[in-house]
Amino acid sequence: MEIIEEKSLSSFRPSSFDQYIGQVRAKKILERYISEMQKREMVFPHILIYGKPGTGKTTLARIISNQLDVAFYENMAQKNIQIGNFLRDLNRTNGGVVFFDEVHGFSRESVEQLHAVMEDFKHGNTDIPRFTLIGATTEIGEILRTRKPFYDRFKIIIELEDYNIPDLITIAKQYREKLFPEDQLDESIYKIIALNCRATPRHLIRLLESTVYFGGDIREVFYIFNILKNGYTTKDYKLLELLNREERCIGLQEISICLDMPKETYQYEIEPFILKNGMISRTSRGRKITDMGKLLLKELEVLI
């Protein structure tokens, strides 16, 4: 299924590396490769981009296509890829970029069909146009564990880093100026939003838009999004409270029931932030609160 993106985000989405804030290392690698490939008139190699949700993987893929000046076709990875549909997408790009989001969703059997297509630009005995496959994933470990030959066919591996506060403030200001030029916000609000967006541009934009719509009332915005402090929410509080109360490792199924959300939502929306910040630990037996998590729990208790 082809992706149709939100209008406001589409109009803001950067189209060049100069407009793309942050990710200095990734941009440096890609700019050098693009320059050298074009100089040598070579097809740009396949790329795998990984990072947590909302960090700009799709945007980066589009910029690569723009810089190469080739067609771009976007799809969401599904468990079973239909090779006929894939070849049809290739024909649409005429040797350009085919982008698949969440490529860890492909089954091992599906990606095996792509090996020769990616490496030799052949399907059976038929030559196909040379192209660039860009894959994006939030689960690089899953690909390495079960689809290593697929991973090895990507010549460039890009890891997106967390955004720092100055970069997030810049993104917020640029977004407001471009999408809401008539709506002014107090300078302090940009930093508050940056500190509470869980270091994720997608969350940043959501908070910024809501702040504009609520007339700059950031407290009301935090209330409707259940944000307590520094991006931590009531869901995080419930998780820490559960782990602290039980004083044992808790499995994923029990956590999802406690938080009243699907396991996938917990894994991709809740856990990455709180795990990276050292508030919980994860073992083969489940999740457990850390000493830092216990301190945070006390801080959040007074805000509930």
Cite the DSSP H helix spans in 57-155.
Answer: 57-68, 83-93, 108-112, 115-120, 140-146, 148-152
Domain boundary among 117, 136, 159: 159
Q: What is the mean pLDDT of residues 223-231?
A: 96
Selection from 155, 135, 150 nearest residue 44 by Cα: 155
Q: Which of 2-16, 86-100, 135-149, 212-226 has the highest mean pLDDT?
A: 212-226
Buried b (16+ CB within 10 A) or exposed e, 236-273: bbbbbbbbeeeeebbeeeebbebbeeeeeebbbbbbbb
* pLDDT at residue 79 in the model: 67
pLDDT in tens, 259-268: 899 988 898 8
- Which band of pLDDT confidence, cut at 50, 70 and 90, is reported for residue 9? low
- 3 in the Ramachandran plot: left (φ > 0), alpha (ψ -120 to 50) or beta? beta
Is 1 within a domain? no
Selection from 296, 273, 299 nearest residue 198 by Cα: 273
Query: Looking at the structure, do residues 102 and 29 belong to the same domain, yes or no?
Result: yes
Residue 3 pLDDT > 60:
no
| Cβ atoms of 268 and 138 closer than 8 Å | yes
Query: Looking at the structure, do residues 129 and 44 belong to the same domain, yes or no?
Result: yes
Residue 80 pLDDT > 80:
no
Per the structure, the complete domain to which residue 291 belongs is given by 232-301
Is 2 within a domain? no
3-state secondary structure of 157: strand
Q: What is the mean pLDDT of residues 217-244?
A: 96
* pLDDT at residue 217 in the model: 96
Query: Looking at the structure, do residues 77 and 150 belong to the same domain, yes or no?
Result: yes
Residue 175 pLDDT > 90:
yes
The domain that holds 47 is classified in CATH as: 3.40.50.300
Instruction: Compute the C-alpha angle 47/49/55, nearest 5°.
Output: 150
Residue 106 pLDDT > 90:
no
- Looking at every residue in the chain, the average pLDDT score rounds to 90
The 8-class DSSP code of residue 105 comes to: G
